[in-house]
Amino acid sequence: MKRFKQFSLIGMVLLYAVFISVSLTVKFNPGIRIGQHFWSFFLQMIKLLPCVFILIGLFEVWIKRETIEKHLGHGAGFLSYIWGILLAGTTIGGLYVALPVAHALYTKGARLGVVFAYISAAAICRVPMTLFEAGILGWKFSLIRFSVSLPLVVVSSILLGNYFEKKGYRMPENER
pLDDT for the residue 35: 93
pLDDT for the residue 18: 94
Tell me the pLDDT of the chain averaged across its residues.
88
Structural domain of 134: 63-176
Residue 57 falls inside a structural domain: no
pLDDT for the residue 92: 78
Residues 37-54, mean pLDDT to the nearest whole number:
88
Domain co-membership, 129 together with 157 = yes
pTM: 0.76
Which phi and psi (to 5°) does residue 126 adopt?
-75, 145
- CA atoms of 55 and 93, how far apart (whole Å): 13
Domain co-membership, 38 together with 103 = no
pLDDT for the residue 37: 94
Tally Cβ neighbours within 10 Å of residue 120: 22
What sign results for the dihedral spanned by CA atoms 149, 150, 152, 156? positive
Domain co-membership, 96 together with 19 = no
pLDDT digits (tens, 9 = 90+) for 150-172: 999 999 999 999 999 899 887 77
Q: Minimal CA–CA distance to 98: which of 71, 126, 72?
A: 126
pLDDT digits (tens, 9 = 90+) for 12-28: 889 999 999 999 999 99
Domain co-membership, 81 together with 165 = yes
Domain co-membership, 79 together with 148 = yes
pLDDT for the residue 80: 93
* Domain count within the chain: 2
- CA atoms of 20 and 154, how far apart (whole Å): 44
Residue 36 falls inside a structural domain: yes
pLDDT for the residue 125: 85
Per cent of the chain over pLDDT 90 is: 51
